Amino acid sequence: MAAPQRLLALAVAAPLLLVACSTDDGSGGGSEDSGDRDLTISVVTHGSAGDAFWDVVQNGADAAGEDLGVSVDYQGDGDPQRQSQLVDAAVNQDVDGLVVSMANPDALHDSIAAAVEAGIPVVTINSGGERSAEFGAIGHVGQDEAIAGRGAGRRLAADGAHDVLCVVHEAGNVGLEQRCAGAAEGLGREPVLLEVDINDLETARSAITSQLQTDAGIDGVLTLNSAVAAVAVAAASDAGSDAQIATFDLNQDVIRGIQAGDISFAVDQQQYEQGYLPIVMLTLYAENLNTVGGGRPVLTGPGIVDASNVDAIADLASAGTR
């Protein structure tokens, strides 16, 4: 574990260690390390295996489980119905805590309600934060998508963009809709919306190329996913467009694109924390009935990665923590 992450682990684990010490009856039954915790936490996200963004979330959850001696079961599926079935399975297994992302809150409502009714504490992450408390979750960890969108829109405007294409890669994802709406506020005008399929990047590239060729006035492209950002760079080249490319989220291609000047900036929501912090929160709740946030989301972003700081972040991204 890199030094910054080890310091974070020590900082968040300290209250847990104090709880463990205070409950030791002196009979020798207390754990000498955190590995004896008999807790299982299920993490169910709308990200599929192999997705660069969600791999970092899983890295965070797994690291927290290792640091705190908690069993973490991570699963992801981009189909809302299958995601709800995974939540149902976790409830049937009577896990000690549930972490769930809510890109499509309505599709998950009944399953999360069943978890809460069964007495399983829930922390939501990433998407659906505005409905987290309504669903009975004890907390939410993520980025406020409207705030992040406004920040991206303001930055694009400051960089000279006027007519912006906002590329939505997942139909029905409320967080993506909020990003584009926020970008409109930051820009002071509505962007052109283009819907593509994250599972078919070649077709997405063609669609972006076609849009840039059809509307030569577009001078900015805002993608909402790091994989789509690389496609947008290629599409701009295909179309002979000078539109600046900006994106949400990081991966190695985005970092290299920023370093090369092909991508102007990325909005980083630090998704490693979205995996790590809920495991800490649920462990504290299980052992000490602690809650975090006071009914408000614990925000992990947004932060801007651009030419001024990309080199410092590149090594962390290579380690799978950014």
Q: Where are the domains of the chain?
A: 3-143+270-303, 145-268
* Preceding peptide of 302 cis, ω within 30°: yes
- Beta strand extents in 241-307 (DSSP E only): 244-248, 265-268, 298-299, 303-305
Above 60 in pLDDT, residue 13?
A: no
Query: Tens digit of pLDDT for each residue in 122-133?
Result: 999 999 999 999
- Mean pLDDT score, 292-305: 93
Q: Which residue has the higher pLDDT, 26 or 200?
A: 200
pLDDT in tens, 232-264: 999 999 999 999 999 999 999 999 999 999 999
Prediction pTM value: 0.80
For β-strands 265-268 and 303-305, DSSP reports them as antiparallel
The conformation of residue 30, written as its DSSP 8-state character, comes to: S
Number of neighbours of residue 89 by Cβ within 10 angstroms = 15
In CATH, the architecture of 3-143+270-303 is 3-Layer(aba) Sandwich (3.40)
Q: What is the mean pLDDT of residues 292-312?
A: 94
State the pLDDT confidence band at 162, using cuts at 50, 70 and 90: very high
Judged by phi (left if over 0) then psi (alpha if -120 to 50, else beta), residue 299 lies in beta
Per-residue confidence band for 41, with pLDDT thresholds at 50, 70 and 90: very high
- Fold classification of 145-268 is Rossmann fold (3.40.50)
Picking from 164, 157, 322, 141, the residue whose alpha carbon sits closest to that of residue 249 is 322
Question: Region 108-136: what's the mean pLDDT?
Answer: 97
Q: What is the mean pLDDT of residues 215-226?
A: 97
* pLDDT of residue 4 exceeding 70: no
Q: In what order do the strands lie in the sheet with 139-142?
A: 71-76, 40-45, 97-101, 122-125, 139-142, 298-299
Query: How much is the pLDDT for 3?
Result: 41
Question: Are 3-143+270-303 and 145-268 equal in CATH topology?
Answer: yes
Mean pLDDT of 24-43: 60
